[in-house]
Amino acid sequence: MQWNIGYIAKKRAKLSCNKPALIYEDTPITYAKLNEETNRAAHYLQGLGLKKGDRICVLLLNCPEFLYIYFAAAKLGLIFVPLNFRLVGPELEYQLNNCGARMLVFHDLFVGNVNSIRSRVAVEKDKFLWVKSLTPDCPGCPEWAANYDEVMKNCATDEPEPEEPVNMDDPLAIIYTSGVTGAPKGALVSHSQTYFKNFQVMFYTDMREDDIFLAQLPLFHSGGLFVSFNPGLCRGVTMIMRQGFDPGQFAVDIEKYRATVVLALTTMWRFVLETGKLGEIDSSSVRTVLGGGERTPQILFDELAKGGLRLQQGFGQTENSAMMFLPKEDIKRKQGSIGLPGFFSEIWIQDEQGKKLPPREIGEIVARGPNVMMGYWNMPEKTAETIIDGMLHTGDLGYTDEDGYFYIVDRAKDMYRSGGENVYPAEIEKVLSEHPKILNVSIIGVPDERWGETGKAFVVPKEGQSLTPEEVIAFLKDKVAKYKYPTHVEFLDSLPMTASGKIAKAELKKRYGVRLDK
């Protein structure tokens, strides 16, 4: 079917022409303007010779240009690859080369990072595009990149004509998610799957055209792009956008813009509550509060409820966002539940033999439906391990109650969530194992009041060597993003091992008081 996600910008420009699609840092941008700028970007990309199936990466803070490039890529059949702006050079280098990026669009803040790797990545020399941010004192446009504002101002605003038809089953985006082996995997999603996610979120929130949707998740995040802005713009709401998340401003914006739908991860809500501003504002306009992304303590639900904000948890993965939602009326009745499967998701619990399990029995959460990813980019073996006979094996353990509501017991493998971000210990362990003084290392997630969870590293030094926690952490600098750094370091003479010679992480968790049923 010749239809694509780019039609969101095109159709809304006609149906909601003069309505604000975005209010970016207090400046409204209409749906007509959104489509015009999208078309400028599309014509520019065509002029560079980019064709259907080519990968275009963006390293951007939240900004309108992110969406212009995204919808332009969708109209042309390019594959859009948003990169986590918290990553450092080696991590960016891997992802750019793994997807075979032909182009990189980046904010001025990241000139140094990009320059340090540009000679080692697949991006073509004439396809680096610099975007000016709102952050003061950033580097200007380097001579090796083009200036976004300069190249776009002379581009046409009429609808582009792709050289090849763009269909619903064509790839739309690659969203990278770390793997338990430490190698990031690119989840490949299609235009069709993204539309079904849109519908799923719309149904759940009872989204309306007159809604004001406040969400400050980074757009490189599946929750930011596919759970917030995609469905919001598809429905024709007004999205409140800021370049970055400021907890005090977030609270003020609820009242300032009379927000009706609000989305923030648990850690973000913690920061908002710490400001004390929720007690100073009028939040009576809010109809739906979405959140989660990690374990959420009851006290946070209670604190938000004091301001009339009834937080509804959900469950999803990069491979299948917005799978499950907890209805508003069940927040108290089903405390701790991640909810019910969405309209376009079929989800169940099964054992290792593939048998569906009855209520209260723990097994793997398995899902299928039209919003499951196509697979992992260039990783057929990993795809085959994860999607079996059309069923997505989440790797998460859970159970249902007698009413069919789902509960999480443990997360995929050893992954933990810190500040709403997935952290896979194997990635950090691999780096630390290269330290000349370290013989062995194992990292587990431990509870943290501020971040939900953080890392604790158990380090066995080589014989005759002495180390400090500061030395261990310092070794990670410029090798992995800071949010992945373990907060705690403990030195041991040896690590517990299984009979097969693997590190017994379950034993570490038991020994050091980490709950195994979290």
CB atoms within 10 A of CB 150: 10
Res. 438: pLDDT tops 60 = yes
CATH class of 9-166: alpha beta
CA 81 to chain centroid: 12
- The reported pLDDT for the residue numbered 419 is 87
CA distances from 323 to 87, 293, 327, 342 (A): 27, 12, 13, 6
Residue 69: Cβ-neighbour burial (10 angstroms; 0-12, 13-18, 19+)? buried
* Average of per-residue pLDDT across 5-30: 98
For 67-97, the DSSP string reads: HHHHHHHHHHTPEEEE--TT--HHHHHHHHH
Q: What are 210-221's pLDDT values in tens digits?
A: 999 999 999 999
- Coil, helix or strand at residue 316: strand
- Coil, helix or strand at residue 39: helix
The span from the first CA to the last CA of the chain, in angstroms, equals 44
* Average of per-residue pLDDT across 198-214: 96
- The reported pLDDT for the residue numbered 408 is 84
* Average of per-residue pLDDT across 446-452: 87
CATH class of 416-511: alpha beta
Q: 195-410 and 416-511: same fold?
A: no
pLDDT confidence bin for 433, thresholds 50/70/90: confident
Q: Is the model's pTM score more than 0.75?
A: yes
Q: What are 77-112's pLDDT values in tens digits?
A: 999 999 999 888 998 999 999 999 999 999 999 999
pLDDT confidence bin for 498, thresholds 50/70/90: low
Res. 517: pLDDT tops 60 = no
User: In the CATH scheme, what is the homologous superfamily, with its name and number, of domain 195-410?
Assistant: ANL, N-terminal domain (3.40.50.12780)
- The reported pLDDT for the residue numbered 427 is 80
Helices (H), 174-295: 191-205, 222-224, 230-235, 247-256, 266-275
C-alpha–C-alpha distance, residues 138 and 281, integer Å: 34
Domain ranges, ordered by start, for the chain:
9-166, 195-410, 416-511
Res. 150: pLDDT tops 50 = yes
Residue 360: Cβ-neighbour burial (10 angstroms; 0-12, 13-18, 19+)? exposed
